Each structure stands twice: as structure tokens, then as C-alpha cells.
């Protein structure tokens, strides 16, 4: 699996075919379906969401008893529109951003994790 195949994997993880991977600084390095300018902004947003999650980690886990790290933007019916999933490959923190309904229960997600572990772990 090569870096050129990452967009194909990412597209399979979203009901809309739009997803991206960003590093901890918000720089995206793989994109499927987002226009370049939008991907840059969403990448930056992912770092801010990750920082917000870290800042409120104790409240969320200890007081609210929520033991998940993903953050999302939902429509009024509760369907996710944009979800931010923190991923760790070795000591490297990444964020997977999925537009639409995420579908992580498939081989494409396993392949993505393998690529990231080979690169970073």
C-alpha cells in the first residue's frame, strides 16, 4: 500500500466519500473528496478539536463517564455531519476526519491503520 492509495481508502470510510488525515498540527497529508482549500481548513479545525478534547478530558471521562475520544458535528436528528477521530501510530497523534456517516467497520479502515503503523510506529 502506498501513500497514493490513501485517498481511495479514506473515501471508503465515509457515506459521502469525503475524509482526510491530518497531523497533530492540523496539516492534512491525505484527502478524499474535499477541495484543497476546504481540506486545509478542516485539517486546522481537527487540531483545535483535538486540543479541546485534551483540555476537557477529565470532565468527559471522569464526570460524564464518556470513554470515547471522537468528536462530531451532528444534524438535528443526531446524524453525524463531520466526525474527528484521534488515531495514534506509535507516538504520533493523527486525526481522521470523516464527513457524512462514518463507516469504520470495513477492511479499508484496517488497511489504513496498517499503512499508518508502517509509516509511524
Say if residue 2's pLDDT is above 80. no
Cell representation of residue 79: 446524524
Residue 60 has pLDDT above 90, yes or no: no
Give the per-residue pLDDT at 61: 82
Residues 50 and 78: their CA atoms lie apart, in Å, by 21
CATH classification of the domain holding 16? 3.30.450.30
| Residue 83 pLDDT exceeds 80 | yes
Mean pLDDT score, 101-114: 94
Boundaries of domain holding 15: 3-120
Answer whether residue 3 shows pLDDT above 80.
no
Please determine, for residue 63, whether its predicted confidence score (pLDDT) is greater than 90. Answer: no
Interatomic CA distance for residues 50 and 111, integer angstroms: 23
pTM of the model: 0.92
**Is the pLDDT score of 1 beyond 80?**
no
Label residue 74 by pLDDT band (50, 70, 90): very high
By DSSP bridging, strand 80-89 and strand 92-99 are antiparallel
Domain total of the chain: 1
Residue 82 burial class via C-beta count within 10 angstroms: exposed 0-12, middle 13-18, buried 19 and up: buried
Amino acid at each position: 500500500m502506498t501513500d497514493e492509495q490513501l485517498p481511495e481508502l479514506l473515501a471508503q470510510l465515509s457515506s459521502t466519500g469525503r475524509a482526510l488525515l491530518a497531523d497533530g498540527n492540523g496539516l492534512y497529508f491525505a484527502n478524499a473528496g474535499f477541495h484543497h482549500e476546504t481540506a486545509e481548513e478542516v485539517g486546522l479545525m481537527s487540531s483545535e478539536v483535538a486540543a479541546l478534547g485534551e483540555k476537557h478530558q477529565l470532565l468527559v471521562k471522569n464526570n460524564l463517564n464518556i470513554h470515547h475520544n471522537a468528536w462530531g458535528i451532528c444534524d438535528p436528528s443526531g446524524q453525524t455531519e463531520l466526525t474527528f477521530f484521534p488515531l495514534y501510530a506509535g507516538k504520533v497523534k493523527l486525526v481522521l476526519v470523516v464527513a457524512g456517516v462514518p463507516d469504520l467497520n470495513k477492511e479499508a479502515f484496517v488497511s489504513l491503520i496498517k499503512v499508518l503503523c508502517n509509516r509511524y510506529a
